[in-house]
Structure 1
Amino acid sequence: MLKIENLNVNYGSISALRNETITVGNGELVTLIGGNGAGKTTTLMAISNLIPKVSGKIIFKNKDISQLSPDKIVKMGLAHVPEGRRIFPGLTVYENLVAGTMGNSVIKNKDIPQLIEEQYELFPRLKEREKQMGGSLSGGEQQMLAIARALMLKPDILMLDEPSLGLAPIIVEEIFELLVKLKIKGKTILLIEQNASMALSIADRGYVLALGEVILEGTGRALLANPEVIKAYLGG
Structure 2
Amino acid sequence: MAITVDASAETALARTRRARRIVRALGELHPDARIALHFGNPLELLIATVLSAQCTDKKVNEVTPAVFGRYRDAGAYAAADREELEALLRPTGFFRAKANSLIGIGTALAERFGGEVPGRLADLVTLPGVGRKTANVVLGHAFGVPGITVDTHVGRLSRRFALTTETDPVRVESDLAGLIERRDWTIASDRMIFHGRRICHARRPACGACTIARLCPAFGEGPTDPLQAARLVRGDAEAAR
**TM-score normalised according to structure 2 size:** 0.27
Q: Which has the larger radius of gyration?
A: 2
Which structure is higher in RCO with an 8 Å CA cutoff and minimum separation 6?
1
Greater share of residues in strand: 1
